[in-house]
Amino acid sequence: MGDFNEIVHPSEQKGGKFSHSRAAVLLNVMDKCNLVDIGMMGGMFTWNRPCTGNRMVYKRLDRALDDVSWRMAFPDAYVEVLCKFHSDHNPLILQCGLPLHNDGPRPFRFEVAWITHPNYSDIVQTAWGKSPDNFISCLHNVQQDSLRFNQEIFGNIRKRKNQIERRLKGIQQTLEMIDSARLIYLQRELQQ
């Protein structure tokens, strides 16, 4: 799985010129090694760059290959094309089975961003002082006050991040089908 830096079919490209001879090299390697493409979900292309003017070139340079024995071991496997943020390549994730759903409560996680806020040390100090004789209670107080602080100061960062990621994914999928300078500009703005 990775960047093979080549495409094998004209349908794996939008813009630019398809090279049959370059595609043949990758196809020959796949044939000699008895490898097949796993397939992808979530986008048609995994890489893009500006071409002439406001036009873009899109290609499916990244892929995952398997052989028969691997496919028999992981029949539900697929590759998901994730939203691109900082690179000209989309990240890929190999899913080897059906998605797991954890409906239980999310465990407490300390967020590094909290310590960048000038008031956070006061939150910890106050929470720790509520039960100075009981270490476990102090930790619980810090946890609860940190969560409250996070909600009041930062809001739901994960929710905002997911909203931006969904917008970016939609823009990126639309740009795979149509050229739009406005969408390219909006994509850059959201990525920042």
CA distances from 124 to 115, 119, 120, 144 (A): 10, 9, 6, 10
pTM comes to 0.64
pLDDT band of 103, cuts 50, 70, 90: low
pLDDT band of 10, cuts 50, 70, 90: very high
CB 184 within 8 A of CB 56: yes
Tens-place pLDDT, residues 33-70: 999 999 899 889 999 988 777 678 999 999 999 999 99
